[in-house]
Each structure stands twice: as structure tokens, then as C-alpha cells.
Amino acid sequence: MRFIVSTSTLLKQLQSVSGALSNSTVLPILENFLFEIKDGSLTISATDLQTSMTTSLALSEAKDNGRIAIPSRILLDTLKSLPEQPIAFSVDDKTFAIEISAGDGKYKLSGENGDDFPKIPVVENAASVNLASSVLAEAINKTIFAVSNDELRPAMTGVFCQLTPQSFTFVSTDAHKLVRYRRKDAKAESATSFILPKKALNLLKSALPSDDVNVSVEYNNTSAFFKFGNINLVCRLIDERYPDYEAVIPQNNPNQMTIDRQAFLGSLSRVAIYANKTTHQVRLKINGSELNISSEDIDFSNEAHERLSCQYEGDDIEIGFNARFLIEMLKNLSSEEVALQMSTPNRAGLLLPQGGDENEDVLMLVMPVMLNSYN
């Protein structure tokens, strides 16, 4: 088996699927790319058994069909160090020895039998929807930061997707913060829901092109399949029941502060430097149209205070939050102004963007922290 390809073209395709590689010591073949040549086209696959990615490209020259598993690390490192030029691969179909020729250089490495590579799953009996890549990217960006890393609660280690004939809803939570991202301009024929794992979403986020393309999403009871351009990604769904997130969103929040997002973010970022390094607690005190943000670390005699003007409706309130959570949420919003809705100091606050896309409904919930007794 022999084929010729450009170094930059091959490197770009390998990098687009390399995130699905596994560092498995149990199954060393998962550290390889699978190269399959058929009728002048090269298909490259990578998998960790939970998530698989494939991409394909046309070859300028290809002799014989076949498949070979090539060690990923040495191949990527070689291509990164080569200038742009044609590169020829010659594979011995019996010993799986690989010889790479590029310019005046020759490089030899050992591959493995492509038939031993795990079969890339195909989604069968699937329902499908189409999404604009910009919508999918925005949904991932707005929710993935709030996904839990707690393996004891596997349902929360992914993003919950609810598809209905009226809208799409993406939800993530780690029990301290929660994000609900809803699109009214994306719809499915029938109602369904599933949990997408974090790794697959991160890979999608990296692979989605900057220009807006159509993404075909197919799904059944066990897997989801994403297809756009020459990239295919298939992932196993998290087979768990997602917590009833609607039940934790407080409905009656009479106290609402509206404030410039960047000013709020900047102030929190500075005041948080002086907060306790374990709790990251900041105190928000709102009187009339004035917001006082303060923090202190008693162990080191550090403290900070800042004052901002805001629009406020409701009773004066003093409430504590973990600054890191608030900062993360504000960074993942894009509106000029945000509203913080609250009821009492011991109930969750809601952060909502003001204005923006009418097809987009974003709600971010953050749990308060108990205030200590300094004034």
C-alpha cells in the first residue's frame, strides 16, 4: 500500500481528530490513528471507545486499498517538524512496517494491523436534526464550564440536551452553579432528551469551523453522531437520569439588580484577589442604586472594597457568593448589561443577560455562600 499526500493537509486532518485518541495502556492500539485507503480517498479515525472521530481527504496518488494503524505521537511530531511538501507513505501489508519519504529524508516506524483497530460505531435507528454550527458552538460555550467533574454523579458530568418541537435546551450543573441555554430557533420533530459527555463536546467545540455550516445531529438510545464538512464524531451518551433542574430554579425573585457586565466583572476580579483562598467569598451589599462589593481574608489581614452604581428594584440586601463562580458566568455572557435576581440571602441568585438575540434564552443560577460576621 502506497500513497502521497501534502504534509500540511495531513497534519491539519490529524490534528482535527487527535483529541479522540486514548492514552490507554490496556489497549495500546488506541494510541494509533487508523488509516484506510479506498478508491483514492484516505479516511483517518481515532477513538477511545467512548468517543470516535473520523475525517477524510482525497489523495493525489494512491496505490492499492488497505488499512493500517499508525502510532499517533511519532507521526504528529514528524509532520510538525517537516516543511510543506509532498510526503509518501509505503506500507508493507505483511509486516505492517511503514516507510515515510519526505524530500531527502526517510523515516521508518512500525504500524499495527488495521483489522485489529476497534470498529468505529455507526448510529442505527436514529432520529436526526440539523443545527447551524454557530448555534451549536454557542450552546457548548455557554454550558460546558458549569459541567461537574464529580464521577460519583455521572449524570452531571455531561450536558443535558432537551429537544422539542418548540425549542432546544442545553443544561449543565455542578450543584454550585447551573446554566440553562435555550434556543427558540432550533427545533426537533419529536420531544427527546439525552446527556452528552464533556469530552465529546470539547472535541466538537474545537472542530467546529469558524464559518457557519450545517451540522447534522443523529441520535438514538445509546449514541449521538455529529457530521459537518469532512468530520464525523460519534459519542456514547451518558446513560443516567438527569436531576430535575427546573425544581431548583427559584421562581419568585423580587430583588433585581441591573448592572454593566464588564464593570461588574472587573470589580469582582479585583476584589476576589483579597478573598479567602478556600471559600473565594465576596459580599454584595445593595442599597438603592449602589452596589458595594467586599472581601476579606482574616488569616492574612487582607481586605478589599469597591463601589459601583447600578439600577436596583427591591429591598436592601446583603448576600455572599463564591467569586470564582460569578466571574466564570460573567465571562461566558456577552451582553452589555446583566441582571442579578435574588429573593433572600440563603437562596440561589439568577444571572440573566439583558437584551441580545431574541431567539436565545440564557439563565445562570449561582448558589450563595453563608456570610461570616464581619461588617
Phi, psi of 331 (to 5 degrees): -70, -30
Q: What is the pLDDT of residue 186?
A: 86
Query: What confidence tier does 229 reach under pLDDT thresholds 50, 70, 90?
Result: very high
Q: What is the mean pLDDT of residues 240-262?
A: 95
Amino acid 375: pLDDT: 44
Fold match, 2-116 / 249-369 = yes
Give the global pTM. 0.90
Write out pLDDT tens, residues 291-333: 999 999 989 999 999 999 999 999 999 999 999 999 999 999 9
DSSP state for residue 93 in the 8-state scheme: T
The Cα–Cα gap between 133 and 137 comes to 6
Rounded to 5 degrees, φ, ψ at 277 are: -75, -10
Q: CATH homologous superfamily of domain 127-245?
A: DNA Polymerase III, subunit A, domain 2 (3.10.150.10)
**Beta-carbon neighbour count of residue 42 at 10 Å?**
20
Grid coordinates of 255: 430583588
Which one is the CATH code of 2-116: 3.40.50.150, 3.30.930.10, 3.40.50.720, 3.10.150.10? Answer: 3.10.150.10
Are the C-beta atoms of 62 and 40 separated by less than 8 Å?
yes
pLDDT of residue 302: 95
Q: Per-domain residue ranges for the chain?
A: 2-116, 127-245, 249-369
- The domain defined by 249-369 folds into DNA Polymerase III; Chain A, domain 2 (3.10.150)
